Amino acid sequence: MKAIAINRFGGVDTLVPRDLPVPGIGPGEVLVRVEVAGVGEWDPFEREGGYAEMMGMTPEFPYVLGSEGAGTIAAVGEGVTRFAPGDRVYAVGFLNARGGFYAEYTAVNADMVSPIPGGLSTEQAAVVGGVGLTAVRGLDDTLHIQPGESVMVFGASGGVGHVAVQIARRMGARVLAVASGEDGVALARRIGADAVADGRADDVLVAARAFAPDGLDAALLATGGDTAQQALLAMRSGGRVAYPNGVQPEPTAPDGVRIDAYNGDPDPDAIARLNRLIEQGPFDVHVARTFPLAQAADAHRALGEHFVGKLALRTG
């Protein structure tokens, strides 16, 4: 099968096309014929060996990146009854020792696989897994958002942020979206934010205090920095702040405000909750650019440029 693999950890030059064997599957696994793979903001850190060092792993090379994707079931392992060959699915598989989604096929634990939620294209489903689960873990499991609460999503035009805006709205919250640039502001408005501020051009603290004069109930920070830190001064006493592990610089909360870092860990329950939220109505997963699989290095370069939403790779 065609794949993009690395033979060592390093820069974008390590991403090279390879012909590799189709992975076998064991009990409880499925083989996915990958049509589109998501390009995660975290993929360069994995490519550079950051996760391997952090977790004390000794991976085997060639090493195939990619923690999310969508396509069709090609085969099912022993004990798998929820899927059959030909089913259209999306899946997640972070640090999958069997190989990631930058390939024509990948073997995945069946618990990390789901039918594509109604209304999403294959491209949209391919990129929603990682960011969608991160949004659900932040808004539902960490912040415990309640209907009627005021919520600031900082980084609202990025992968996690633009999904989080829509999920928070479906949870009944009033959402202030802090986006980046004119295109980011346009996306945040299109996906239904109650109010939008441009983190590059507007005084976000003024905007936040105007949105919630008594103080924000909660904030999800998908990105960090001075502007994000300043915006937290708009939190009410007793408010809650959450950010995914990996956000740099790590934010700190004002006195009287709780702050928690968290991981977007996948499990069947979180995937099911994400699907239910998506299927409540039209859901806009914005794919800024889709690259051919052979141009994975260009996609990684693009991660360092300005874009809104997500990036993807198409295998065929």
254 plus 145 within the same structural domain: yes
| Residue 237 is assigned to a structural domain of this protein | yes
Give φ, ψ of 182 to 5 degrees: -65, -40
- Check residue 188 and give its pLDDT: 98
Asked if 47 and 65 count as a contact pair (C-beta separation under 8 A), the reply is yes
- Check residue 127 and give its pLDDT: 98
For the record, the structure tokens of 134 come out as: 């991160």
| Residue 243 is assigned to a structural domain of this protein | yes
Helix axis angle, 122-136 to 268-278, nearest 10°: 120
230 plus 172 within the same structural domain: yes
Rg of the chain on CA atoms, in Å: 19
Asked if 103 and 66 count as a contact pair (C-beta separation under 8 A), the reply is yes
Domain total for the chain? 2
9 plus 71 within the same structural domain: yes
142 plus 232 within the same structural domain: yes
* Model confidence pTM above 0.95: yes
213 plus 102 within the same structural domain: no
Look at strands 29-39 and 310-314 and give their pairing.
Answer: antiparallel
CA dist., res. 313 & res. 290, Å (int): 5
240 plus 306 within the same structural domain: no
Domain that holds residue 182: 130-262
Q: What is the mean pLDDT of residues 99-117?
A: 97
Q: How confident is the model at residue 98 (pLDDT cuts 50, 70, 90)?
A: confident
- Check residue 97 and give its pLDDT: 84
Q: Which residue has tokens 């006195």?
A: 255
231 plus 256 within the same structural domain: yes
CATH label of the domain that carries residue 309: 3.90.180.10
Look at strands 2-6 and 63-64 and give their pairing.
Answer: antiparallel
135 plus 254 within the same structural domain: yes
**pLDDT over threshold 90, residue 269:** yes
CATH label of the domain that carries residue 169: 3.40.50.720
For residue range 19-68, what is the model confidence (pLDDT) as tens digits?
999 999 999 999 999 999 999 999 999 999 999 999 898 999 999 999 99
For residue range 295-308, what is the model confidence (pLDDT) as tens digits?
999 999 999 999 99
**pLDDT over threshold 90, residue 118:** no
CA dist., res. 270 & res. 80, Å (int): 20
| Residue 276 is assigned to a structural domain of this protein | no
SS (H, E, C) 103-142: ECEEEEEHHHEEECCCCCCHHHHHHHHHHHHHHHHHHHHH
> Which region holds residue 302: left if phi is over 0, alpha if psi is between -120 and 50, else beta?
alpha
| Residue 277 is assigned to a structural domain of this protein | no
Q: How far is CA 298 from CA 6, 70, 292, in A?
A: 15, 21, 10
- Check residue 67 and give its pLDDT: 97
**pLDDT over threshold 90, residue 255:** yes
229 plus 154 within the same structural domain: yes
For residue range 198-225, what is the model confidence (pLDDT) as tens digits?
999 999 999 999 999 999 999 999 999 9
Query: Number of H helices and number of E strands within the chain?
Result: 9, 16
80 plus 164 within the same structural domain: no
223 plus 300 within the same structural domain: no
Beta bridge partners of 291: 313
For residue range 162-190, what is the model confidence (pLDDT) as tens digits?
999 999 999 999 999 999 999 999 999 99
CA dist., res. 208 & res. 188, Å (int): 15
134 plus 244 within the same structural domain: yes
